[in-house]
Copies of this chain bind each other. A is one copy, B any other.
Amino acid sequence: MAASLSIGEFSRLTHLSVKTLRYYHDIGLMLPASVDPATGYRRYTTGQIDTALLIRRLRDIDMPLAELRSVLDTADDNTRAAAIVGYLDRMERRLVDAQHAVRSLRDLVLDGTRAITIEYRTTIATPSIARIAVVQRDDITPWCAETYPLLYGALGLAQAAPIGPGGALYDADFFEAGEGQVVAFVPLSAEAQAVPAGLDRFEVPAATLAVATHVGPFEELDRTYGLLGRSVIDRSLATTGSIREYYLMSPGDTDDPAQFRTEVCWPIHHQPGEEP
């Protein structure tokens, strides 16, 4: 019943180029139904159109060939559908992220004049409740989304009130190696009750800091980091130590990322104008 087609005919019906079909044959992704042993001519059947169209659809949305291969190798329809839907989910998230990146860049370009103000501050050690973990840069958003409700939830249960805005310490490795220790903390008076399992007492160390307040979504923090880092280095104030952020207005307070206010704190060895 299924008729036989030359590679050119099959190409026209599937909108996969002849070169692409030959390449898929070479790598074993999609084999012709038969190959003439004398001439090497490839023959496809109409029954292969479905598969070819699926491949084209998935390639159109950039599924890597390795993943496509494992999808095609999946015989069971439900398992295969689940694998595809899993990819679609990931893809949709990436598209949304890309849209945010486009919009944020548009804001930056159309309003590139926003300067930052930098203040200098020496903090004292602060008792707090904290969650400490080694986190990858790419995982920081979900980790925070999970951690802060946990911390504030624990305070609620203990009927204790925070004595300042929550924040986090980021190990230098976190930025430099893409993975490092992160301490998410909420300041709390030392007399407050015992902390639940999984959370720790932690004393946020005293520090001398250059501080810039970032207004807007977390994805745009890079600009504030860039300007703050530049200022610190230009003034030869840089020292080792953790980068610190304080979340003055965050997802716990508002749903609108444009309203977020984040203090970015860069460790310095002395305040400008003071004795080193």
Contact = CB atoms under 8 A, between A and B. Distances in A.
Contacts of A92: 99, 102
A154 interface: no
A192 B81 CA distance: 53
A58 to B, nearest CB: 7
A91 B104 CA distance: 13
Given A49-B230, A57-B101, A102-B95, A15 B236 contact: no
Interface in A24-52: 46-47, 49-50
Contacts of A110: 81, 85
A47 to B, nearest CB: 8
B12 A53 contact: no
Interface of A: 1-3, 5, 12-15, 46-47, 49-50, 53, 56-58, 60-61, 77, 81, 84-85, 88, 91-92, 95, 98-99, 101-102, 105-106, 108-110, 112, 175-176, 222-223, 225-226, 229-230, 233-234, 236
B2 A57 contact: no
Contact of A233 (B3, B88, B105): B3
Shortest beta-carbon contacts, A-B, top 8: A46-B230, A49-B226, A81-B109, A3-B233, A84-B109, A53-B226, A3-B234, A13-B229
Stoichiometry, as copies per complex, reads 2
29 contacts: A2-B234, A3-B233, A3-B234, A3-B236, A5-B233, A12-B176, A13-B225, A13-B226, A46-B233, A46-B234, A47-B230, A49-B226, A50-B226, A53-B222, A57-B222, A58-B105, A60-B101, A61-B98, A61-B101, A61-B102, A77-B112, A81-B110, A85-B110, A88-B105, A88-B106, A88-B109, A92-B102, A95-B95, A95-B98
A77 to B, nearest CB: 8
Contacts of A105: 57-58, 61, 84, 88
Contacts of A5: 233
A102 to B, nearest CB: 5
Contacts of A12: 175-176
Contacts of A15: 222
